[in-house]
Structure 1
Amino acid sequence: MMLAVLRLQSFRRGVRAALLLGLVAGVPAVAFAPPAAAQSTQGGAPPYEGDLLRLSEILGALHYLRPLCGAGEATRWRDEMQGLVDLEAPSGDRRGQLISAFNNGYDSYKQVYRSCTPSAELASQRYLETGAKLSRDIAARYGSN
């Protein structure tokens, strides 16, 4: 029984890592649904929670900045965040924290930029790079091999 639980946890980590890597690397997200038993094995926040919150904030910033600067991605980053929330299936407090991080990323740039400027473009590019690196790091550290 314990081996089955460990395999389900490993499966879930691998699925998360694959989704996270696709989120920022430009690969279309694939909808994976971990088995119900894998969802019930999570007892609290995963060890990568801080990284996941940072990634959520980055997705929020990208959701504001990319369309502002003319990228044809009107809802892409919000949709990616929704996919992340759906995959993680977090409890009430965790869900609120992830969504709050996304909203903070969005709001922080909405307060500063009303039009695309060179600094907005630079911030957008840096967030794409940072998000991709963060996703790769999460996948490498916590993904299944």
Structure 2
Amino acid sequence: MTATQPASAQGFFERLFGPPRQPELSPQPQLRPQPQFRPQRRAPQNQRSAPPKEAKEKEKEQKAEPAPPVEPPPAPYEKDLLRLAEIMGSLALLRPLCAAADGTEWQGRMQALLDAEGTTPGRRERLAGAYNKGYQAYALTYRICTASAQEASNRYLKEGETLARTITSRYGG
């Protein structure tokens, strides 16, 4: 109990934990991870702005068209591909955090994967979602490079290499 306050004025928490501490000097701001990866949408090719009359006719034609086709069944390697995208997301955070030489390459590699395998909008969304899941999982845990961050990075490099080899050897590539 402190002598500066009468015993009757002390609250429950002060009796348990002592008097409140004075605020220390402001800590250094923590570095934030890079923003999430968002797939780049492909720009429509050869679209010209139509005069208002033609635009109305096109709208009528589009309304008369049936619903878009159902997405084809997933590829047999879809599960492995989603895991690879998740690993790439984790590496996109961990490798630059630990100042690895290939730290800046992972977003480009993911974009190449999306361009090659993102044949439908649903599939692109699933791949980008897996990438973001891997990125966010480590963004919540690591702000600086630690021994466990380096170990996780090394393990993911090995697992990603194994998955890439498995997918290309079994299904071509």
TM class by shorter chain equals 0.5 to 0.7
2:142 and 2:118 map into 1 onto residues whose CA distance is 32
Q: Structure 2: where are the runs of 5+ without partners?
A: 1-70
Q: How does 1:41-120 map to 2 (within 5 A)?
A: 43-120=72-149
Task: Give TM-score scaled by structure 2 length.
Answer: 0.57
The code of the aligned residue for 2:161 comes to A
CA distances 1:69-117 after superposition (whole Å, capped 9, x unpaired) = 0113343111000001001132111110100000000010000000000
What's the CA shift for 1:50?
0.3
Q: Does 1:137 align with 2:166?
A: yes
What's the CA shift for 1:139?
1.2
Q: Structure 1: where are the runs of 5+ without partners?
A: 1-41
What's the CA shift for 1:118?
0.4
1:85 and 1:74 map into 2 onto residues whose CA distance is 19
CA root-mean-square deviation: 1.5
The code of the aligned residue for 1:97 comes to R
What's the CA shift for 1:46?
1.1
1:51 and 1:115 map into 2 onto residues whose CA distance is 29
Task: Give TM-score scaled by structure 1 length.
Answer: 0.67
Identity of aligned residues (%): 50
CA contact (8 A) 2:118 2:127 kept: no
